[in-house]
Structure 1
Amino acid sequence: MNDARRTHAVIRQTDPTLPDGSLNLSGNLPPIVADAFEERYRRALSKVMREEQLSSLVGSHRFTGTEKDRRAGSVFVSLRLGSPPDVKRVVVTNGTQSAIDRLFDCIVGRDGVIAVEELTYPAIKPIAARLGMRLCPVRIDGDGIIPDSFSDVCQRERPSAFYTLPTLHNPTTATTTLDRRRAIVDIARLHNVRFIEDDIYSSLPLDAPPPFATLAPEISWYILGTAKSLSPGLKVAYVVAPDRLAAARVFWPGVKSTYWMPAPLNAEATANLVLSGDARAIIGAVRLEMGYRHELAREILDGIPVTTRPGALNLWIRIPKPGARLEIARLTQNRNVIVGTGDAFVVGDCLPPEALRIGLGTVLTRHQLSQGLEVLRDAYRSVFKQSMSSRSSI
């Protein structure tokens, strides 16, 4: 299959509503690193085919994961936690979103109150709405979560938990500093607030601060998914509970909520990738490819106010003109390049940020990324050239 056909297939799978032939810079997926992934994933699948009795493998539910699943999860999260947690604290789930849904329901409870960053993962809002929860926004800046804002929310709103994405925050790419994390832990303990920590982007940077789960394990539910570092289609995320009893209480036997369980073949193949060490090699290849893509972005978007960090899958571009984000998005779409805005991430009644989120990994090749970024650059310059012309004529 040639590059164009392969790229088209990736685009359609990412978002079937996109126009044919468009380049999608609105997504936030890791790049496909076929040279690193193909052989290793085939090896992981072959091990399943060779060593497992398939009828037994797929013939039962996988509540909380097998011992092997939990061992693999312990190894995988140790990349961030520093050491492998007790396997009985680990649960294997059907991706991060399913884990979040389960934790919201059981940790916060229906009609409860939960703190979130003022810009948050868009899936959080429909999950909270379905459960009747109220979301309370916590302000963030370039150094991540602002402790004073979190303290204010805790005192005023009394949330049960804080859902947070503190490392390479989506969409801003901000990473909360270690000093702020320590301050936030003190506030959470004071107000009896538990962390639901989504650390999904944290495997790619080499210098990320330690998670809340290492600073306050007794009040932390830690989630590390594979979608942003290995491959989104694996649909496996590992949850680390505060203790083994909490893990069993929340996830066994699902409390009549069963979709959070992973498909056995996915879980088994992912465990093989992790336990063989191949997952580390794939993460390294993704990290390397993102380095090349960041360099392309720096060259092409020179002069445009871009915020990002090493390992981030996206750029965050603040637009210094009201309404310009929508005009730029319209101009790029006219040339079959789709970019994202900050609108979908807003919590509550706040005005959407005048910003664009630009995904670097969703398109298949660096050449296509260059094409898309050049269209974005031209649209940005066009909008601001028009603005300068209008001011000059006044």
Structure 2
Amino acid sequence: MPDVDLMPRWKRLVDRNPGPAYLSIVLALEDSLRQRLLQDGDRLPPQRQIARMLGVDLTTVTRGFSEARRRGLIEATVGRGTFIKTGAGDAGWRDTQGAIIDLTMNIPPVPDSPSLENLIQSDMRALLRKSDSGALLSYRVTGGTVEERRLGAEWVKPLVGARKEDLVLIVPGAQAAIAAVVSTLTSPGDTILTDRFTYPGIRAVAAQFGLIIKGVEGDAEGMMPDAMDDVCRRYAPKLIYCTPTVQNPSTATMSVQRREAILAVARQHRLFLLEDDPYGLLLRDPLPALAQLDPSRVFYISSLSKVISPGLRLAYLVVPSMEAGYRMTSAIRALSLASSGLMTSLATRWIQNGSAGAILSAIQTELRERQAIALGILGGGHGMHPDGPHVWLKLPEWWESAEFVSHARKQGLGLVPGSVFAVEHEPPRRVRIALGSASSRESLEPSLRRVADLLVHRREHGFGAVV
């Protein structure tokens, strides 16, 4: 059982959170998992003790624990108590030090040609010759210079259409852009909508700002309009977060018709959408972003992390209006001040001289090859997109997600359990495999064959993963 000193921390979080008390308990539990204050297998104090120490009703704690069970965080055994479920915390699946290959990080493969190392060396030298080194190393204007914004608008034009540079902001990474939009458009206690299984980064932002997330049921194209309309009527959300193209983790991709239907529901309920589009440029034939179909209603984010390199730490935030741009600029300044001058200048130069396009093309080709390898080894029936960077692997009925990941790690493979992506439902019997983190196709193939072997392995009765 964890030290009872954990309870004062929980009480501070519960007292500070303006949302429902039972959800505040779940958020406090998630916070303790993120901070490694709780580990897999830890037994929690009795519910009555927690209620007394938090100053809430027993029914509030019971309701909070029920929600935590639905999210795959805890499990209860009659006569023994309530325990942190294996795989609930980050510590287990992120521990990939002994892995033959780490398939957890959804990053683009490093292309052989053009060589990023050579480009970085040559273009950094060129920048230092051309520019004042003091300007490159100093603080930058929040949101980027006019030229940086203009080239950013050109970069995202295939997805959002022509935009004036005044509506494009340079942000140090997509996560900072997400935080800026969410914190500006919502208040603590508000509800936001996401897919039923969603990018963990939006969950982290929601927890940080005291927001409630409700998941929307989806199909092969992502969010279903009728389900979205129903959740909007029931919970009156303030914002919709979605990834219409190669959704993380499901790989669901909305058709143009589905995008129009989702926008129609948003208009009906007078809601803004936050469109997170890290993979849109990977497609052979890019689909129009929601922001192109309805520019007045969508805040759009395109990151270079998934299509060029995460080391650039650069994203483009396209806003619906000048007034929204002023508000986002203030939020970005408060959260992260400004982007790195060195990295922004390098990325801008690459867009200007065509290097970014060449890198993108090489990554597109490499990912298509890796997806073909994955399809050949793992077969169909999984969440896959021929241009995408990951696989949403469906597990047989004898495997739970966390146990499969734990067993795979013992075989030298790093995977991500489905519980990491679950919003408020039972964790899916799936795991995510990132194809880009392998150093080469030659190292990816044997790793995927190991995964395929594990899929057909039946656990013996009573198998339990020990982390």
TM-score of the alignment, normalized to the shorter chain, above 0.5: yes
How much is the aligned-residue C-alpha RMSD, in angstroms? 1.9
Amino acid at match of 2:301: I
Please give the alpha-carbon distance, in whole angstroms, between the structure 2 residues aligned to 1:60 and 1:360: 36
> How far apart are residue 260 of structure 1 and its match?
5.4
User: What CA distance in whole angstroms lies between the structure 2 residues aligned with 1:369 and 1:96?
Assistant: 27
- Give the aligned residue type for 1:223: I
Structure 2 CA distance for partners of 1:143 and 1:278, relative to 1, 3 Å = same
SS across alignment from 2:181: helix
Aligned partner of 1:319: which letter?
L
- 1:318-333 → structure 2 map (5 Å cutoff): 318-321=394-397, 323-333=399-409
CA distance in structure 1 between the partners assigned to 2:304 and 2:135 by the alignment: 25
> Which runs of at least 4 in structure 1 moved beyond 6 Å after TM superposition?
none
Give 2:350's aligned residue: 273
SS state of the match for residue 217, structure 1? coil
Gaps of 5+ in 1: 1-14, 388-394
Where do 5+ consecutive residues of structure 2 fail to align?
Answer: 1-92, 462-467
Indicate yes or no: 2:311 matched with 1:233: yes
- TM-score, length-normalised on structure 2? 0.75
Q: How does 1:194-205 map to 2 (within 5 A)?
A: 194-205=272-283
Between the aligned partners of 1:259 and 1:20, the Cα distance in structure 2 is 34
Q: CA 1:296–1:323 in structure 2 vs 1: closer, same or farther (change >3 Å)? A: closer
Give the SS at the match of 2:140.
Answer: coil
1:186-335 residue pairs with structure 2 within 5 A?
186-252=264-330, 254=331, 257-259=334-336, 261-302=338-379, 305-321=381-397, 323-335=399-411
Which residue identity does 2:373 align to in structure 1?
L
Which deviations, in whole Å up to 9, do the C-alpha atoms of 1:219-257 show, x marking residues without a partner?
1111000000000111000000101221122213x4761
Q: Which of 399, 404, 416 is the aligned partner of 1:340?
A: 416
Shift of 1:81: 1.7
Q: 1:29 to 1:88 in 2, by over 3 A?
A: same
Pick aligned residue for 2:451 from 351, 376, 381:
376
Determine the structure 2 residue equivalent to 1:133: 211
Q: Which amino acid aligns with 1:70?
A: R
**What amino acid is aligned across from residue 220 of structure 2 in structure 1?**
G
Tell me the SS of whatever aligns to 2:366.
Answer: helix
Aligned partners of 1:118 and 1:139 also within 8 Å: yes
**Identical aligned residues as a percent:** 28
CA contact (8 A) 1:160 1:192 kept: no
Once the 2 structures are TM-superposed, how far is the Cα of residue 186 of structure 1 from its aligned partner? 1.1
Write the deviation string for residues 153-192 of structure 1: whole angstroms up to 9, x where unpaired.
2212111211111100000101012111111111111111
**Deviates most, 39-48 or 275-284:** 39-48
Supply the distance in 2 between the matched residues of 1:54 and 1:34 (Cα, whole angstroms): 30
1:55-96 CA-to-partner distances (Å, cap 9, x unmatched) read 12322333111112101211111131233x100001000100
8 A Cα contact 1:24 1:339, kept in partner: yes
TM-score, with normalisation over the residues of structure 1? 0.88
Alignment size in residue pairs? 368
Query: Which residue of 2 is the match for residue 358 of structure 1?
Result: 433
Give distance in 1, aligned partners of 2:303 and 2:340: 15
For residues 34 and 260 of structure 1, the distance between their equivalents in structure 2, rounded to whole angstroms, comes to 34
Q: Deviations over 1:90-138 (max 9, x none)?
A: 1000100011011110122333221111111111112111111111211
Matching residue's letter, 1:47: A
Residues of 2 paired with 1:220 and 1:26: CA distance? 30
Secondary structure of the 2:188 match is coil
The one-character-per-residue Cα deviations of 1:190-214 (angstroms, maximum 9, x if unpaired) are 1110011001111101234311101
**1:149 and 2:227 aligned:** yes
Change (3 A) 1:161 1:21: closer
Instruction: Tell me the residue number matched to 1:93.
Output: 171
Q: Does 1:166 align with 2:166?
A: no
Helix, strand or coil: the match of 1:257? helix
Q: Deviations over 1:326-373 (max 9, x none)?
A: 44323321211112221100112x100111111111011111101211
